[in-house]
């Protein structure tokens, strides 16, 4: 009697997602993508043409996924209509003339992949010996042996190419600040800085100062990509830079700068032709629906004001008369 019991295949090991090429190779692929498609969306089925790969091949798909992982492209459409467009960071890198601007993009891109960011926080640039790292990746990280070998090569090459090895231990893994940091009082707009809180660095990579304001007699620092103010005493200068931002206009004497914005909230300051300012605050991310809601509300208020007799038609309670 023959055994007809169906054979169940063991599930295939699947490693965590990570770019299979290093940041430097991804930059080369980005340049080639721009040369082939420019600002036109690149159909996913044809994108391999930019890299002399067979359209629709797994190699082309993996390369495109790596560019997306590093934040160099965004996807539009879905399924057969899926296409790739070069992201804002990708455009900035391609068009920037200053090496410092390109370097900032590379530093951000290097830590966009979640796997690289995770182990950067654990290892930093001066990582443990390869044998220790490989055991951590395989025994605790869920990597297969071959994937761990590839990931470690990609990690090392990416960190080095982005220049992150110049800023070792920025994640605060050892809890100590570097001895060559400068006092916060020397920080100026355009400098690269770190934030030290309780002896640890709070930023994964140094950030550029875009604004310095005074609130209640104390200086506060604002950095790219954040609306929160940082007390100057927590700031550590990492690299002097040249400001790419025009200094903000001075605040009216009766108004003081706000040191911070609540977590999850964003603000937009609007200035009309007469110099009057309006501060728009909202929670969450900007969207078409959000601005359409604001527009509809403003249209409603304008209608009420017109019915009340113009811009002065508000009563003492601040409401439009019916």
Band of the pLDDT at 321, cuts 50, 70, 90? very low
Mean pLDDT over all residues of the chain? 76
Instruction: Decide which of 41 and 318 is more confident.
Output: 41
Q: Where are the beta strands (DSSP E) in 41-177?
A: 42-43, 73-76, 83-86
pLDDT of residue 259: 45
pLDDT of residue 182: 44
Instruction: Decide which of 253 and 198 is more confident.
Output: 198
The sign of the dihedral angle between the CA atoms of 283, 288, 289, 293 is positive
Band of the pLDDT at 55, cuts 50, 70, 90? confident
Contacts of 100 (CB under 8 A, 6+ apart): 241, 242
DSSP per residue, 201-252:
E--SS-EEEEEEEEETTEEEEEETT----EEGGGEEEEE-----SPPPPPPP
Is the pLDDT at 253 greater than 90, yes or no?
no
Residue 75's DSSP bridge partners are 84
Residues 210 and 247: their CA atoms lie apart, in Å, by 8
Residues 242 and 266: their CA atoms lie apart, in Å, by 27
pTM across the whole model: 0.54
The stretch 259-283 carries a mean pLDDT of 62
Domain boundaries defined on the chain: 23-166, 170-249+258-264, 265-307
Per-residue pLDDT reduced to its tens digit, 188-240: 888 888 888 766 777 777 888 888 887 767 788 888 877 778 888 788 887 77
Could you tell me which of 17, 266, 4 has the C-alpha nearest to residue 143? Answer: 17
Query: Which stretch of 49-63, 92-106, 163-177 has the lowest confidence by average pLDDT?
Result: 163-177
Per-residue pLDDT reduced to its tens digit, 88-134: 999 999 998 888 888 889 999 999 999 999 999 888 878 899 999 99
Residues 201 and 167: their CA atoms lie apart, in Å, by 11
- Contact of 202 with 186, CB cutoff 8 Å: no
* Per-residue DSSP letter, 13: P
The stretch 29-51 carries a mean pLDDT of 92
Report the Cα 59 to chain-centroid distance in Å: 27
Band of the pLDDT at 174, cuts 50, 70, 90? very low
pLDDT of residue 249: 45
Band of the pLDDT at 150, cuts 50, 70, 90? very high
Other Cβ atoms within 10 Å of 189 Cβ, number: 19
pLDDT of residue 205: 78
- Assigned CATH topology for domain 170-249+258-264: SH3 type barrels. (2.30.30)
Residues 223 and 230: their CA atoms lie apart, in Å, by 8
pLDDT of residue 13: 58
Residues 56 and 156: their CA atoms lie apart, in Å, by 29
pLDDT of residue 126: 80
- Encode burial over 53-65: b for 16+ CB neighbours within 10 A, e otherwise: beeeeeebeebbb
Q: What number does CATH give the domain 23-166?
A: 1.10.10.10
Tell me, yes or no, if the two domains 23-166 and 170-249+258-264 fold the same way: no
Is the pLDDT at 74 greater than 60, yes or no?
yes
Band of the pLDDT at 243, cuts 50, 70, 90? very low
Is the pLDDT at 265 greater than 50, yes or no?
yes
- Contact of 195 with 230, CB cutoff 8 Å: yes
Per-residue pLDDT reduced to its tens digit, 287-307: 777 777 788 778 777 877 777
């Amino acid at each position: 009697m023959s055994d007809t019991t169906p054979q169940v295949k063991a599930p295939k090991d699947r490693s965590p997602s990570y770019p299979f090429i290093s940041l430097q190779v991804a930059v080369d692929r980005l340049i080639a993508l721009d040369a082939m498609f420019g600002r036109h969306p690149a159909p996913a089925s044809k994108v391999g043409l930019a890299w002399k790969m067979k359209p629709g091949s797994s190699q082309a798909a993996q390369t495109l996924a790596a560019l997306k992982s590093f934040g160099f492209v965004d996807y539009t459409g879905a399924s057969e209509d899926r296409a790739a467009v070069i992201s804002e960071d990708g455009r900035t890198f391609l068009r920037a003339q200053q090496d410092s601007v390109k370097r900032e993009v590379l530093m951000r891109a290097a830590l966009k992949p979640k796997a690289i960011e995770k182990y950067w926080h654990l290892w930093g640039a001066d990582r443990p010996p390869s044998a220790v790292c490989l055991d951590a990746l395989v025994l605790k990280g869920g990597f297969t042996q071959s994937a761990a070998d590839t990931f470690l090569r990609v990690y090392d090459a990416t960190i080095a190419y982005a220049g992150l090895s110049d800023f070792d231990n920025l994640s605060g893994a050892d809890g100590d600040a570097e001895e060559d940091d400068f006092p916060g009082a020397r920080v100026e707009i355009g400098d690269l800085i770190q934030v030290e809180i309780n002896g640890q660095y709070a930023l994964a990579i140094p950030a550029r100062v875009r604004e310095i304001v005074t609130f209640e007699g104390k200086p506060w620092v604002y950095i790219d990509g954040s609306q929160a103010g940082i007390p100057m005493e927590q700031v550590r200068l990492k690299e002097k830079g040249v400001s790419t931002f025009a200094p903000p206009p001075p605040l009216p004497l009766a108004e003081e700068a706000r040191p911070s914005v609540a977590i999850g909230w964003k603000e937009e300051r609007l200035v009309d032709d007469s110099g009057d300012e309006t501060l728009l605050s909202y929670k969450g991310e900007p969207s078409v629906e959000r601005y359409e809601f604001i527009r509809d509300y403003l249209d409603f208020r304008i209608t009420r004001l017109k019915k009340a007799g113009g811009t002065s038609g508000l009563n003492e309670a601040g409401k439009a008369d019916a």
